[in-house]
Amino acid sequence: MTAHAPRAPARHPFLDGKLKRMLIDGKWLEAASGKTFQSINPATGEVLADVAEGDAEDIDRAVEAARRAFEGPWSKVKPFERQAILLKFADLVDQHADELTELDTLDMGAPLSRTRNMRRRAVGLLRYYAGMATALHGETIENSLPGDVFSYTLKEPVGVVGAIIPWNAPLTSSLWKIGPALATGCTVILKPAEEAPLTPLLLGQLALEAGVPPGVLNVVPGYGETAGAALAKHMGVDKVAFTGSHFTGQKIVQASSFNLKRVSLELGGKSPDIVFADADLESAVPGAAMAVFANSGQICSAGTRLFVERKIYDEFTARVAEFSKTLRVGNGIDPDVMIGPLVSQEQLDRVTGYMSIGRQEGANPLSGGERMTDGDMAKGYFVPPTVFANVRDDMRIAQEEIFGPVISAIPFTDIDEVLGRANNTMFGLGSGVWTRDVNKAHRLARGIRAGSVWVNCYQAMDPAVPFGGYKMSGYGRESGIQHLEEYLNVKAVWIKTG
């Protein structure tokens, strides 16, 4: 954005007009280069804050601090104390929930009607990982060696973790990386997305207040090509936990080869959402709509390929389009707004680009389909919920991740056919099935090649239930016991006695 954009009026305690510095080794620092960038409110185009712009030099400083903490004082902190710190952190996140969720709304556009609901998830994640901190354990294993040889395993923290996150849910995606790292005894360098760095910085402040020692959590805002790339290839980083596009995921894997660091990837999708004629349509209509329109479609597991059984196709798609017109679009700071702006000009260009591609390919927009510029909306990046009918599997809007509020509705005839077509994608993150027939539900739950299958619901999430991808949606799991394993090394110990 331009340097001439208007300043936002001071309306949030974190937006005090001061430079937002980066957190390294428990101290708030300017970038070594002295550079800054601006964070913009995508609903109004206003500048919210100037932010210190980290690059390779700052990443070096942060990695050194994280390494010192990991090998020094943090390694002596017992699980019980890590748990206490995480619980304190959870309480502070709970107490500051309004501030945190409003900052997400201001910085990346998701409406308060959505971000406020993230309080439960944010606090729940931290309390879950706090619990896990004292539940980690190795095993004693019987071996078949002659004589008395005793063998057991130790679970050890993997070390210094680089966490690179996108802009679509800054509060919860930060905690989804910080939680397991702190629970297992790792240290972290969190690199927020350049589009939405503010909430991660406020979390850094609360973490210090909660007693997270210096160097254990470092927050370094900056651009992907500089700060992100430096973290991904850094010889002093033991693991990178990444969420974002599959293009960047591929670069991260390449960069990780320098020291063969461990990588977990939570990437994009083109998730199928399958509606049978026998479904409860009263819940399937809003369910299928919000599976895509929530967060303006900026969710990795959005159910964007809407397969509808042919005999209800016209009726169902018309009802989803009608429903979509009832969703209020606007500045998400208004509590009645359901659909906020897209995060940036870049995403606006991308999504409106796909809307014209869809029309050129012959798809028929039943609702939406163009940028909204009425009144104040011209200052932000607004697009309405859009339902494309007459979509064929081979159209680009049926194959590529749009990351906007765009449904591609495709008719199908029977279950075998729809299963094959649902799996005909390079991605495998989420999926939905709407039916009253338990047989169909089980068949598809088995057959769909994706990390999550939601039956008669969509986007259900819980800190205890693993989430992640098949195929090009990535590898590794977040949430659940599997998530902790991603941050642990297993050591085998052999002791010969007698």
Span interacting with ligand NAI, options 164-172, 374-382, 388-396, 406-414, rule CB under 6 A: 164-172
Span interacting with Mg ion, options 33-41, 151-159, 177-185, 217-225, rule CB under 5 A: 217-225
x/- map, 346-385, ligand NAI, by CB under 6 A: -x--x-----------------------------------
Span interacting with ligand NAI, options 239-247, 353-361, 413-421, 448-456, rule CB under 6 A: 239-247
CA–CA dist 97, 119 (Å, integer): 6
Alpha-helical runs (H) found in 109-217: 112-115, 118-133, 170-184, 198-209
Judging by DSSP bridges, how do beta strands 160-164 and 239-243 pair with one another? parallel
CA–CA dist 379, 373 (Å, integer): 8
Do 378 and 400 form a contact (C-beta atoms < 8 A)? no
Rounded to 5°, the CA angle 455-459-461 comes to 105
Q: In this structure, how many other beta carbons lie within 10 angstroms of the beta carbon of residue 37?
A: 18
- Transcribe 389-447 into DSSP letters: ES--TTSHHHHS---SSEEEEEEE-SHHHHHHHHT-SS--S--EEE-S-HHHHHHHHHH
Q: Which residue's CB is nearer to Mg ion, number 111 or number 166?
A: 166
CA–CA dist 446, 438 (Å, integer): 12
CA–CA dist 22, 389 (Å, integer): 47
Instruction: Return the amino acid letter for 199.
Output: T
Catalytic site residue from 53, 195, 266, 309 = 266
Asked if 300 interacts with ligand NAI (CB under 6 A), we say yes
Instruction: Return the amino acid letter for 268.
Output: G
Asked if 469 interacts with ligand NAI (CB under 6 A), we say no
Size of the site for ligand NAI (CB under 6 A): 26
Asked if 268 interacts with ligand NAI (CB under 6 A), we say yes
| 164 binds, options ligand NAI, Mg ion, none, Cβ within 5 to 8 A by partner type | ligand NAI
Asked if 196 interacts with ligand NAI (CB under 6 A), we say no
Asked if 271 interacts with ligand NAI (CB under 6 A), we say no
- Name which position in 401, 455, 470, 486 contacts ligand NAI (CB under 6 A): 401
CB of 399 to ligand NAI, least distance (A): 13
CB of 269 to ligand NAI, least distance (A): 7
CA–CA dist 83, 52 (Å, integer): 31
The distance between the two most distant Cα atoms of the chain, rounded to a whole number of Å, is: 84
Do 463 and 128 form a contact (C-beta atoms < 8 A)? yes
- Name which position in 115, 168, 184, 296 contacts ligand NAI (CB under 6 A): 168
Catalytic site residue from 102, 195, 300, 478 = 300
Span interacting with ligand NAI, options 124-132, 140-148, 246-254, 420-428, rule CB under 6 A: 246-254
Which tokens in the block code for residue 4?
A: 């001439």
CB of 181 to Mg ion, least distance (A): 23
- Name which position in 45, 170, 179, 244 contacts ligand NAI (CB under 6 A): 244
| 401 binds, options ligand NAI, Mg ion, none, Cβ within 5 to 8 A by partner type | ligand NAI
Asked if 309 interacts with ligand NAI (CB under 6 A), we say no
339 strand-pairing partners: 329
Q: 266 an active-site residue? A: yes
Judging by DSSP bridges, how do beta strands 22-24 and 406-412 pair with one another? unpaired
CA–CA dist 165, 167 (Å, integer): 7
CB of 224 to Mg ion, least distance (A): 5
x/- map, 123-162, ligand NAI, by CB under 6 A: ----------------------------------------
Three-class secondary structure of residue 225 per DSSP? helix
Contacts of 254 (CB under 8 A, 6+ apart): none
Do 451 and 467 form a contact (C-beta atoms < 8 A)? yes
CB of 446 to ligand NAI, least distance (A): 25
Q: Which residue's CB is nearer to ligand NAI, number 177 or number 440?
A: 177
CA–CA dist 175, 380 (Å, integer): 28
E strands in 11-89: 22-24, 27-29, 36-40, 47-52
CA–CA dist 204, 439 (Å, integer): 48
x/- map, 324-353, Mg ion, by CB under 5 A: ------------------------------
Scan for tokens 């293009």, then name that residue: 247
Asked if 396 interacts with ligand NAI (CB under 6 A), we say no
- Name which position in 47, 252, 294, 448 contacts ligand NAI (CB under 6 A): 252
x/- map, 310-349, ligand NAI, by CB under 6 A: -------------------------------------x--
Site residues for Mg ion, 383-422, by CB under 5 A, read none
Q: 186 an active-site residue? A: no
387 strand-pairing partners: 367, 407
Rounded to 5°, the CA angle 311-313-317 comes to 155
- Name which position in 74, 313, 403, 458 contacts ligand NAI (CB under 6 A): 403
Catalytic residue annotation: 266, 300
Residues that bind Mg ion (CB under 5 A): 224
Residues that bind ligand NAI (CB under 6 A): 164-166, 168, 191, 193-194, 223-225, 228-229, 232, 243-245, 248, 251-252, 267-268, 300, 347, 350, 401, 403
